[in-house]
Structures are given as structure tokens and as C-alpha cells.
Amino acid sequence: MPETYSRDGSALIIRFNAETIRIEPWGRDALRVRARPGGAVVEPHVSALLPAEDTPSEIEIDGPRASLTTGRIRAEVRLVRRLGAEVPKEPEIRFVRSDTGEELLAETRSHFAGPSPRNFKAIAGGSFQLEARFRAYPDESLMGLGQPQHGLEDLKGTSTTLVQQNTHVVVPFVLSSRGYGFLWNNPATGRADFATNVTRWLADATPGLDYWITAGDSPTEILSRYVGATGQPPQLPDWATGFWQCKLRYRSQAEILEVAREYRRRNLPLSCIVIDFFAWTRQGEWQFDPADWPDPEGLVRELDEMGIKTIVSIWPTVAANAETYDEMREKGYLLRTERGVPVVIQFPDKDPYGIHFLTYYDPFNPEARDFHWDRVQKGYVDKGFTNFWLDACEPEMRPAHSDHVRTHLGNGAEMLSAFPFLHASRYAEGLRAAGAEDPVLLCRSTWAGGQRFPTILWSGDVWSTWEDYRAQIAAGLHAAISGIGWWTTDIGGFYEGHRENPEFHELLVRWFEFGVMSPICRLHGVRVPNGVPFAAPDGEVDYGRELFRVFTDTGGDNEVWSYTPELLDLFTGLLELRERLRPYLDATFAAYSASGVPPMRPLAFAYPGQMGLTGQGAYMLGDDLLVAPVLEPGARSREVRLPDGEQWIDVWSGARHPGGATVSLAATPGRPPVLCRAEAWQGLAPVFTI
């Protein structure tokens, strides 16, 4: 059927019923699928995929059927009948292993009469609402999709928005237990449903369908293929595996230097200290306030002499009274709404003090990216700052009506998921051009391919509760399977921790244990301000004043000595453990840079095909350490089901446990439950020597 199937180089083209589908090799064992009603397919406004190298492929066309094979994956297309529909036939695609014929994933209809597995609904401006449907498999488990906050380690049975929000990060890649990885290469807002009866991807507005699928013999191989297709991560700087001190907020140069000096006086490990927001003059001016930060160059110099790196918070927001606002508005450098005022978030600012309506610069405009970076370079890089905290980079619109946003490239519903990706890309480019050595970007959001920038994702402004703490473990594991190996969380949670609350003390210790055994170890939070008495909880935590006034001033002390002598002893021991662990972490991060296999790994990823490992809140840190964080208040032991196939050693007691056993580990405060593969124990035993 030459009118239906044709070749375009290595690509298979399907044209039927005014729809064009293009399937082509895109890297080893991988295919890219694009489709659009009408003529030729189009590129998305922002693509996560790097250009593909030429890959051998084989195309076969046989009447109503066609196939394209590359490596271990084959796309099979057939014209299937649609009974009772106005269009009697339609193309349907399925993906199989080329060596075994085993089905990996296949399109499906919701009803025999339709709609199509690729359902396009035209909207204004040449875009479509898009729904792509695939079969659901009862034996399938899925991980990835960025950083969901539902606390579940398996995505099967979940429905998740594809909308970037504080704590909820969208990286639309999933890894399946059936032996494939799937990237929804679309920056549109939408939804992903992994139901028991259907797998469904929805885009609110898009110029066309675009996804990428790969096959592999193991989860490690599949994830490596994805990272190779979207960008290899850089090598994490050695200093970044140390301890990071942070709080909301250090208000001045004198205050932050005094904290750093106190760490050195106490001989406590400290690799990095963070300057949180409101160090600026006004939002959108992207410069230090000289009243509080009179000598930024001197600040960096003194901290460097102490062996401490500095990170400064920068927001993408612009106040209407900022000195940049008029020029940015006139040149089209700001996000707009389709009707009415510019895109806004209601949030405090310093000058004048109080709540303001802020807008955002538009990173979809390359000239706006250049303008923003030029201000950052003059305000910070030229003063010695090369590490940045890119906060609120979702962007955090309120309300989050993406379809009411107008960017340089088009409607926000088509592309807003890529805001943090483009934002970070210009920092990476600028820092590289400036010759910055080993920079990092601490980001609250990212998108597919974001791992190719020096981006550390953190899990956002979570609450200081056991429920939120447990959810961060699953969030970090999903981020890892989304290719994001540089990951961290606010130790202790961000909101509502009171320094005099003994229940918070216990949570903080367990969260600190998790932080020490995480890729990046960072203490942060807006603690209830000093002097506000603790009362037994009977509702919302009392901050002693309006929360925005706490934000613009400071929360309570949050250094390791800010609590009790007993907690300081525990934290000191944990920091010493982190220091001894750093060579192991350095090697693990080097492996991640080379292969894309993340430092923090689900047990089911490291030991595929074994039952009973998922859902325990336990994970591998590197190749050799199994970490089982304490998940419940009052716990003094922790059960964990061990992977089969090798012996495990309790790093604190030296007890040996057979693979496949369910064991009870001691959960002494300050000693996180950890097991080591017996084969690696000789080299790692000194790390856990007290």
C-alpha cells in the first residue's frame, strides 16, 4: 500500500485518513514516534532529545502491515478495522523485542468504535488537545515521571498531573518492568494515567504527538539509553558531597560569616553554606542589597579560605518597581497572560516591604534569557559567585492556569513544563563561558534532559511531618529513575518545625540520617522563630506572626548546635559518618556521569525481577550499600526484605544475613540502618567504624 506506507531515509512514514505518523531510529535500541493531523510532523517547541546519530534500521512493508526494526526494538504497524465508526480502518502501533517478538507496549482504543489511540482535538492556533492510549498490563510496574509526592514507589495505579509545581516535578520519562523506557517528549501541561485498564498520556495543547521508546535487557541498560539520548550528566564537584548548611534565612554578610566561623571553631565538617532569598534589592534586579551585603567579593574570599563554598538564591521573578521592569516589558522579556495583567504570583518583597504582585521573565525568549544572564553575571558572577540556587523556577504561578499564559513561543499550556529546563540551560551556558570551575545549580524543578546541566534537584518546600518525610524517599527514587541523580531534600522538612518540640527532634534525627545516606546532604527549613514558645499541637503551628513576615525576616536557628546537647552529639556523629562516606560517594557519582546509573537506586532497579522489594522505603546507595531509613516515630528496629543472591552485613553489628531473608535491624538514633554487600565489606568497614 504505497499510499499508506513509505520510506524517508531510515524513517517509516504512515499517511492515512489525513494523519501523518513518522517512526524513526533515535539512538541504539530506540525509536522516536511523531504524529500530526494533516501534513508533515513538526518538532515540539522544546525537545529533550539530543540529535540522534545514524542508526542502522530495517523497514518492511507488506500490504496493510509495516515494521521498522533497530537493534532490539521493532515497531509494528497495521491497519485495524473500526466497526461501527465513520472511518472503517486506522493505523495502530505496537512495540516488540526484535529478538523474541515479546510485546513491550501497544496502542489501544477505549472502544471498538473509537476514539483513535492517538486522539487529536483541534484548538485555536494550530494546536491540539492530545490523548495517547496504550494497553495496561497487570504484571507491569513503573517508576520515574520526575518527583511525584504521593509517596508510592510504583506508579502503577496512579494518576499524575504534568504541571510543574513546588515539590511536584515533571520529568515525563518512565521505566517499565516489562523491559522498556518511555519518554513523553512534550513540554505541554497535561496528565499521565497508569490505570489498571489503560495507560494514557494527555497534553493540554501541543502541535503534535512526540514520544521516544527504548528496549533493554536490564533497568540499568534502559536508563543508560535514556540518559544517553537526553544528555550525560557532568561530574559532581568533590566539595558537593560534603555537608551543606542552610536555613530561612541568613539576613546579612556578617550573620552568614559568623555561622561559618562557628562551624570551624567547633571543628565540624561544612562544605557549603547557602544564602537564601531576599539578599537582593528588589525582585528582578538580580543584585545584592549593599546595606546587608556590603562586600560580596570579600564574603566569597573569606569562605573560600575556610574551605567553604557559597550558593546564593536567585528567583526568576520581577517586581513592577524593579529598575529592570519597564525595559523588560517593552522588549517582550516577561511572561504575559492571554488577557489582562502579566503572569503573577502574590509574594513578599523588600522595597517597599510587603506583599506584591510579581511576574516572571520569559526563558522561552532567547533574548530574555541573555538579558537575565547578563544581570546575573554583573550582579554575582563578576563578584565571585558561581553556584546558584534557582528557586521558584516552575514557575510558581498562582493560580496555575497555564492556558492563560503567553510565552515568546506560544501558549503556556504547550510548553510551560520546560520553563526550568531553559532557565537552567542559560546558567549552564553562561557559567561555562565565564570559565567557572565545578559550578552547581540547586533547582526546585527540572524537566527531561535536565541532568545534562549541573543541576541538583531538591524536593521543594515539604512539611515537617512523618508523612512528608516518608514521601521524600519515594520522590528521590522516582527522580533517580527519571535520570536525575543529583538529588536532595530539606533535612527536617521546610515548614512547621519547632526547635523545642521533642516530637520534631525525633523526626529531625531520622531525616538527618536519611540526608547523610542521600546523594546530597543539606540541612534547611523555616523553623518557628526564636522566642515563640512551643505548645502542644492543637492545629496549625504558631509562627508568632504572619508567615510572610517570617519569610522576609528569618525563621528560627537551624544550625546543628541550635537544638540540644544530645542532638548535637548525634548530628556530630552523623556528619563524621558523611565525611567518611564521601570517597565512596565520589566514585558513585563518577559512575553516574559515565553511565547514567544514579547513586540512589530502587531495590527493584538494582535487583530486577525479585518480588517483595518495592514499597519498603529502602534503597541502594551506590552498588554496595542498602539503606533502610527509619519510617515511624518511636521505632527502635526496622524490618527489611533483602535481595536474593548474595550475603549482607549489618554495618553496625557485623551480623551476616542471607539474601532473600526478611531481617530486623537495630534503629539506634544516630546509626541509620544500613547493610553492605558482603563482597564489598572489607573496603567499606572503616566508613562505619566509630
C-alpha cell at 398: 498562582
Q: How confident is the model over 620-646, as pLDDT tens digits?
A: 999 999 999 999 999 999 999 999 999
391, 396, 468, 513: the active-site residue: 391
Shared domain for 140 and 252, answered yes or no, is no
387 within some domain = yes
Shared domain for 118 and 187, answered yes or no, is yes
User: What is the pLDDT confidence band of residue 84, given thresholds at 50, 70 and 90?
Assistant: low
Q: With 90 as the cut, is the pLDDT of residue 385 above it?
A: yes
Please name the residues in contact with 440: beta carbons below 8 A apart, sequence gap of 6 or more.
236, 237, 240, 311, 387, 454, 455, 456, 486
Dihedral of alpha carbons 205, 208, 209, 214, sign: negative
Range in 165-169, 295-299, 343-347, 610-614 the model is least confident about? 343-347
Q: 317-318 and 354-360: which strand pairing?
A: antiparallel
362, 461, 490, 513: the active-site residue: 461
Average pLDDT over residues 330-359: 90
Shared domain for 249 and 296, answered yes or no, is yes
| Beta partners for residue 359, in sequence order | 318
Average pLDDT over residues 440-451: 98
Q: How confident is the model over 120-158, as pLDDT tens digits?
A: 999 977 899 999 999 999 999 999 999 999 999 999 999
Residue 555 structural domain: 242-315+366-396+412-592
Average pLDDT over residues 606-630: 97
Choosing from 230, 263, 297, the residue where a domain stops is 230
Q: How confident is the model over 648-666, as pLDDT tens digits?
A: 999 999 999 999 999 999 9
606 within some domain = no
C-alpha cell at 29: 535500541
394, 396, 414, 513: the active-site residue: 394
Q: Please, what's the b/e burial string for 441-467 (b: 16 or more CB within 10 A of its CB; e: otherwise)?
A: bbbbbbbbbbbbbbbbbbbbbbbbebe
- For residue 643, cis peptide bond before it (omega within 30 degrees of 0): no
User: What is the pLDDT confidence band of residue 611, given thresholds at 50, 70 and 90?
Assistant: very high
Is-contact 194 134, C-beta < 8 A? no
426 within some domain = yes
Query: What pLDDT is recorded for position 666?
Result: 98
Shared domain for 548 and 646, answered yes or no, is no
Quick one: 690 exposed, middle or buried, by C-beta within 10 A (0-12, 13-18, 19+)?
Answer: exposed
Residue 193 is a catalytic residue: no
356 within some domain = no
Q: With 90 as the cut, is the pLDDT of residue 548 above it?
A: no
Choosing from 198, 230, 262, the residue where a domain stops is 230
Average pLDDT over residues 359-378: 98
Is-contact 161 150, C-beta < 8 A? no
Shared domain for 538 and 670, answered yes or no, is no
| Model pTM above 0.85 | yes
Q: 441-443 and 388-390: which strand pairing?
A: parallel
3-state SS assignment for residue 389 = strand
C-alpha span between 20 and 264 (Å, rounded): 65
C-alpha span between 56 and 169 (Å, rounded): 35
CA end-to-end distance (rounded Å), the chain: 73
Average pLDDT over residues 297-322: 98
Residue 461 is a catalytic residue: yes
The CATH number linked to 641 is 2.60.40.1180
Average pLDDT over residues 425-432: 98
Checking 421-425 for CB contacts under 8 A at 24+ apart, the result is 421/46, 421/48, 421/187, 421/446, 421/447, 421/448, 421/449, 421/450, 422/46, 422/363, 422/364, 422/369, 423/316, 423/363, 423/369, 423/390, 423/393, 424/390, 424/393, 424/450, 424/453, 424/455, 425/453
The CATH number linked to 283 is 3.20.20.80
Shared domain for 184 and 280, answered yes or no, is no
User: What is the pLDDT confidence band of residue 227, given thresholds at 50, 70 and 90?
Assistant: very high
C-alpha span between 185 and 172 (Å, rounded): 7
The CATH number linked to 88 is 2.60.40.1760
Shared domain for 168 and 301, answered yes or no, is no
Query: What pLDDT is recorded for position 400?
Result: 81
Shared domain for 178 and 120, answered yes or no, is yes
Shared domain for 203 and 251, answered yes or no, is no
Residue with more model confidence, 569 or 397 = 569
Q: How confident is the model over 472-531, as pLDDT tens digits?
A: 999 999 999 999 999 999 999 999 999 999 999 999 999 999 999 999 999 999 999 999
C-alpha span between 254 and 261 (Å, rounded): 10
Is-contact 89 4, C-beta < 8 A? no
C-alpha span between 486 and 232 (Å, rounded): 12
Residue 60 is a catalytic residue: no
Q: 455-458 and 487-488: which strand pairing?
A: parallel
Query: What pLDDT is recorded for position 88?
Result: 76
Query: What pLDDT is recorded for position 132?
Result: 98
Q: Which of 255, 322, 250, 256 is nearest to 287 (CA)?
A: 322
300 within some domain = yes
Average pLDDT over residues 334-349: 88
Choosing from 179, 206, 230, the residue where a domain stops is 230
Q: How confident is the model over 461-476, as pLDDT tens digits?
A: 999 999 999 999 999 9
636 within some domain = yes
Q: Report the number of distinct structural domains present in the chain.
A: 3
286 within some domain = yes
Shared domain for 183 and 83, answered yes or no, is yes
Query: What pLDDT is recorded for position 1?
Result: 43
Shared domain for 445 and 501, answered yes or no, is yes
**Mean of the per-residue pLDDT values of the chain:** 95
Q: With 70 as the cut, is the pLDDT of residue 2 above it?
A: no
* C-alpha distances in Å from residue 109, one per residue of 81, 197, 202: 11, 11, 14
Q: How confident is the model over 410-425, as pLDDT tens digits?
A: 999 999 999 999 999 9
Shared domain for 122 and 258, answered yes or no, is no
Query: What pLDDT is recorded for position 281?
Result: 97
Is-contact 492 507, C-beta < 8 A? yes
Q: With 70 as the cut, is the pLDDT of residue 85 above it?
A: no
C-alpha span between 468 and 492 (Å, rounded): 10
C-alpha cell at 656: 551476616
Q: How confident is the model over 5-62, as pLDDT tens digits?
A: 999 999 999 999 889 999 999 999 999 999 999 889 998 889 999 999 888 899 999 9
- Residue in the structure block whose three cell numbers are 528582578: 284
Q: What is the percent of the chain where pLDDT is above 70?
A: 98
Q: Which of 23, 40, 39 is nearest to 31 (CA)?
A: 23
Q: With 90 as the cut, is the pLDDT of residue 112 above it?
A: no
